Amino acid sequence: MTESFGARLHAATAARGPLCVGVDPHPGLLQAWGLPVTVAGLERFARTAVEALAPVVAAVKPQSAFFEAFGSAGVAVLERVLADVSAAGALTVLDVKRGDIGSTMDAYAQAYLSDGSPLAADAITVSPYLGFGSLQPAVDLALATGRGLFVLARTSNPEGAAVQDAVAGGRTVAQQVVDAAAEANRDRHPLGSIGVVVGATHADTGLDLSAVHGPVLAPGLGAQGATPDGLRAVFGDALPWVLPASSRDVLGHGPSVTALRDAAARTVDAVRAVLG
């Protein structure tokens, strides 16, 4: 890839709108679509979602766990989904939340960020809670291959606060994650490739995001209670970098391709009205 992930994401959101739609083949959603909770149902669900969404939204975020639950056959479906999303012109954000140390972290990086890997995505989610420095193999490979990371900082689940809001050295753990990402994005234009995950469900994140200069993946739009109108209050001056994410609120309109696409378009319009 000749362009960085940050540059490609900047262009994609300008062209298609600032929205990332999750592909979460939860058993309940498969059943709601009238599909069996089998590999065949998984593939029908995922590829229908891709057909509807990948040609029109900026980014598609498959949740790896729901594919892994079906073993090797499910992972094979995930490989095809990643390829199909890319072929349709959307960026792939693989939600895997990997985080480890040393050679293990390097192996995860090779699996998801190296050229030629069947599981390679444009960006992946990673966990920094073995220390941000433990992610260095992923940071290095992402930047070398034109890919990106979204590092968990202030997540939308209530349990996260016990760790992420803890204070060390005068800053919360979440703020230290944001600051480390900002340092990795220094002098990267128009947008850095090391993003952070900050839940859109927080009334007040307690974070200073003003210097992050990288994408802020903001899950929680729709079913988890966050609204487009609420984004300004949550993110303030960081709004230009926010990439809202919605999954169930869009996927609930399936299995109709037209209904899925219309739901995504309505969400994009509502987000654009706030973010510009």
| pLDDT tens readout for residues 93-127 | 999 999 999 999 999 999 999 999 999 999 999 99
Topology adopted by domain 5-275 = TIM Barrel (3.20.20)
Q: End-to-end alpha-carbon separation of the chain, Å?
A: 28
Q: Beta-strand (E) ranges in the chain?
A: 20-23, 59-62, 91-98, 123-126, 148-154, 167-168, 171-172, 194-198, 216-219, 242-246
- Percent of the chain past pLDDT 70, that is, above it, reads 99
Whole-number pLDDT of residue 1? 63
The ranges assigned to domains in the chain are 5-275
Q: Within a 13 Å sphere around the CA of 113, how many CA atoms are in the beta-carbon half? A: 32
pLDDT class of 59 with cuts at 50, 70, 90: very high
Q: Is 97 a catalytic residue?
A: yes
pLDDT over 90, % of the chain? 87
Read off the pLDDT of residues 185-240 as tens digits, 9 standing for 90 and up.
Answer: 998 989 999 999 999 988 788 899 989 999 999 998 876 778 898 898 889 889 99
Q: In whole angstroms, what separates CA 248 from the centre of its chain?
A: 14
What residues contact 89, with CB distance under 8 A and at least 6 apart? 54, 55
Grouping H, G, I as helix, E, B as strand and the rest as coil, residue 133 is: helix
Residue range 163-187: average pLDDT?
95
3-state secondary structure (DSSP) of residue 152: strand
Q: Which residue among 26, 97, 171, 188 is the active-site one?
A: 97
Cis peptide before 190 (omega within 30 of 0): yes
Q: What's residue 2's pLDDT?
A: 75
pLDDT band at 90 (very low <50, low <70, confident <90, very high): very high
Distance, in Å, from the CA atom of 150 to the CA atom of 227, rounded to the nearest integer, reads: 21
